[in-house]
Amino acid sequence: MSAQFLEGRTALVTGSTSGIGLAIAKALGSAGANVAVHGLATPEETQAAVDTVKDAGAADVEFFEGDLRKPDAIDSLIDAVKGWGAIDILVNNAGVQRTVSLKDADAAIWDLIIAVNLSAAFHTMRRTMPAMGERGFGRVINISSVHGLVASPEKSPYVASKFGVIGLSKVAALEYADAGDASSGGVTVNCICPGWVETPLVEPQIQDHAREVGGDRDAGIEAMVAKKQPSKRLTTPDEIGDVALWLCNRAAHNITGTSIPVDGAWTAQ
């Protein structure tokens, strides 16, 4: 596998202006892909993300807008990216989460989480996968979660959406399993299921736990993560990016319909 094995390929990564999405965009760019960046961000944050992916080695990078709550906006997003380049790699990373009990959850919370986390993946996949099948190559990587494999209290809409993404991915994998061949690389659909990942979103929790153990950040991470994740280690966004990149190589043509936990043995318990 050459270092630039995605040269000539175009990737769309939703929610890629920061965090896991940006790390995946960087990883794909490092292998020479053209990368369509997408997300909710300020103009300054958007430009910083584009520059980061360019600096990683991407052949070309563009930012595309699209409100994933709205099917019409998703269609416009896909049309715009297709006008820039045929989509060979689709990464559905964008997501939202709300911590709320089943008793207190309302229709607005349910509709938001299902729309962004599950329905958006359905709409992007239905618009991109037929052309992947015709070309004999395609990679769909859906960022699910450890909560697509196991449940936790007060996350009913989120858990439902992430279980749904895994089910959707299995169906799509079956429908496209015989597209292309080993030489072309085939069309695969897989989920990555992260556990605890070191992003800005979890930093306040790290600091809270660190204060409980005398201000030691590493000890705070261990105390926080050990409640669920036996490894007692966080995963970095770049490590998730490396998993996504690995799934894009030709040798992964028969790895499809899977859900890969990156969870320090959380789901092994």
Residues catalogued as catalytic:
158
Q: How far is CA 125 from CA 73, 99, 122, 140, 255, in A?
A: 14, 27, 5, 8, 18
Extract the tokens encoding 54: 């360019």
CB 118 within 8 Å of CB 226:
no
Extract the tokens encoding 131: 């052309």
CB 69 within 8 Å of CB 115:
yes
Phi, psi of 124 (to 5 degrees): -70, -40
CB 37 within 8 Å of CB 53:
yes
- Which amino acid belongs to residue 235? T
